[in-house]
Structure 1
């Protein structure tokens, strides 16, 4: 299942009172795992940015003055999300800003039933506990090391990890096909390959030592060599 985890940064809290989007970040996930596809834009809000907001996001009018206006990236955003479900933390806030910006540039708003709110999921799963993104990252032992300021794309990637955990973590696909009879089959969903393979962690010295060891126990006749594992 394809979903888009996204976050926005804005000039304030009130989409209907003149506040605007300053950044949008989107991460594509399929079966809860990021695919490596992403979309991120800094956006010229065409208005001032309060100092207290700059302290949180790092965004200033000067740094955004030459960035595209939302109407210039609106179609790219719509093409990227397609018909996927949109997942956000406190989704009503982000939904109000996205739809306000779309309406400003003459495009149809996105239906509310396409949005999924991870804050609501967290409160249902952990009633009475803090449900902020930071609190959930700490609960699930997700590193916040890359987060100096609030950034839409960084927060979208953090939320993708939180969303996976809220859905049961990497073992969420453990299931039984038939609960009524014998011969239950354990099914693990296929995971897409990593966008970039992990680098080898075996040193040349270790490879040489392993080859020397294989020679002592049979050389080319060993099982490792026969199966092509070395």
Structure 2
């Protein structure tokens, strides 16, 4: 599950994780995972990245597939895919897993994603997946297309699994789209890819969509820098003036 290596990362990064939390988490029970995740969220510093140069900003571009659109009505995450990016370069580091949501997947979702209920039976539970995912992203900035969907489900998942808030920053690709192409009213991922001459491959697969989003992010991040934005803070300030 990667908990021990995650703990070592936390020791190296923060140097102040409470020793009782570390000891408790290492034994692996759900209550101990809760204590660990609460400490992680407490120590997470989300503002540092806003001042870093975009040219070497470390980001994790991710996507989720879900049983629906309303986590507060019981819809669940069924897969997570992610790729790492540094500046405008897509790295070889990838993350993908199915999630045992312990629910029946609606037929229309199976047709869209190709994921059947039986595919999830041997997948890890949500709490394990979240620990694995946080180990993968560490303190990198998250990026997503139409990030409100990802954010709402991650908030619900963290609270459901660990009774802790989700504090990672998620940067929406629309931020850079609005600066580079202010007159465009394109919404969907495939439409942005077609507009940007990017072949649409593995659509509605979490890792496939993460890869498409990463290509878009790198392309438009380069263009937004050409327009004078040097940091995420510059992007936010430029958007505020629109």
TM-score (norm 1): 0.69
Q: Which residue of 2 aligns with 1:6?
A: 62
Q: Which residue of 2 aligns with 1:85?
A: 141
Matched, 1:160 2:214: yes
Q: How far did residue 173 of structure 1 move?
A: 6.8
CA deviation map 1:108-164 (0-9, x unaligned): 33226x1111134324534342121101111111111x32x5100011011011111
How do 1:12-91 residues align onto structure 2 when only pairs under 5 Å count? 12-91=68-147
8 A Cα contact 2:88 2:222, kept in partner: no
Q: Which residue of 2 aligns with 1:198?
A: none
Greater relative contact order structure (CA < 8 Å, 6+ sep): 2
Name structure 2 gaps, 5 residues minimum. Answer: 1-56, 229-242
Structure index of larger Rg = 1
Q: Distance in 1 between matches of 2:91 and 2:163?
A: 28
TM-score (norm 2): 0.65
**SS of equivalent residue, structure 1 residue 34:** strand
Q: Distance in 2 between matches of 1:126 and 1:173?
A: 15
Matched, 1:118 2:173: yes
8 A Cα contact 1:119 1:132, kept in partner: no
Paired residues, number:
171
**Higher helix fraction (1 or 2):** 2
Task: Give the superposed CA RMSD.
Answer: 2.1
Q: Distance in 2 between matches of 1:13 and 1:156?
A: 18
8 A Cα contact 2:87 2:218, kept in partner: no
CA deviation map 1:28-64 (0-9, x unaligned): 1111211111111011111111111111111111111
8 A Cα contact 1:23 1:43, kept in partner: yes
Q: Which runs of 4+ in 1 moved over 3 A?
A: 171-175
1:53 to 1:82, Cα distance in 2 relative to 1, 3 A:
same
